[in-house]
């Protein structure tokens, strides 16, 4: 698993390098972030099609494309805000347990209702 985590770092470095080569730098405006949504949507749709029709290698490639674009979006957010958001998401998800959450019928991890 260590190699996989190393590759995540390499992927982020690759996105940063791509942004540098194309002078995509600095904090994005809200409009620039909004313009990234169709790019992300296209990658998610390609992943969906790969899952429906393609082999595991193509599925993995499309999943990485989704992550690549998402990392690119994070890199365009103000650095301290992006760091804080990453830490908050990690912290929030690290607190989830089988006692507080369950996997719902759609496969999403959801909070267990306190009404039960």
Give the CATH number for residue 30: 1.10.287
Of the candidates 82, 90, 46, the one whose C-alpha atom is nearest the C-alpha of residue 64 is 46
Residue 45 is given by DSSP the state: H
Residues 31 and 16 in one domain: yes
Residues 33 and 87 in one domain: no
pLDDT at residue 116 is higher than 70: no
Is residue 33 a contact partner of residue 39, using CB atoms and an 8 Å limit?
Answer: no
Q: Would you state the pLDDT for residue 2?
A: 86
Q: Domain span at residue 90?
A: 79-116
* Between 1 and 2, the higher pLDDT residue: 2
Q: What is the mean pLDDT of the chain?
A: 96
Residues 64 and 100 in one domain: no
pLDDT digits (tens, 9 = 90+) for 2-56: 899 999 999 999 999 999 999 999 999 999 999 999 999 999 999 999 999 999 9
Residue 52 CA, chain-centre distance (Å), reads 21
Distance CA 75, CA 13 (A): 10
Residues 98 and 70 in one domain: no
Per-residue confidence at 93, pLDDT binned at 50, 70, 90?
very high
pTM, two decimals, is: 0.90
Residues 27 and 50 in one domain: yes
Residues 67 and 95 in one domain: no
Work out how many domains the chain is built from and give that number. Answer: 2
Residues 56 and 29 in one domain: yes
């Amino acid at each position: 698993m260590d190699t996989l985590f190393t590759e995540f770092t390499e992927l982020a470095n690759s996105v940063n390098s791509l942004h540098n080569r194309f002078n995509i730098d600095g904090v994005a405006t809200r409009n620039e972030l909004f313009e990234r949504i169709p790019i992300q949507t296209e990658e998610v749709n390609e992943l969906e099609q790969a899952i429906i029709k393609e082999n595991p290698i193509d599925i993995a490639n499309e999943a990485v494309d989704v992550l690549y674009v998402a990392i690119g979006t994070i890199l365009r957010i103000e650095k301290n805000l992006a760091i804080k958001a990453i830490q908050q998401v990690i912290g929030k998800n690290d607190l989830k347990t089988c006692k507080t959450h369950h996997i719902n019928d759609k496969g999403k991890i959801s909070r267990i209702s306190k009404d039960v």
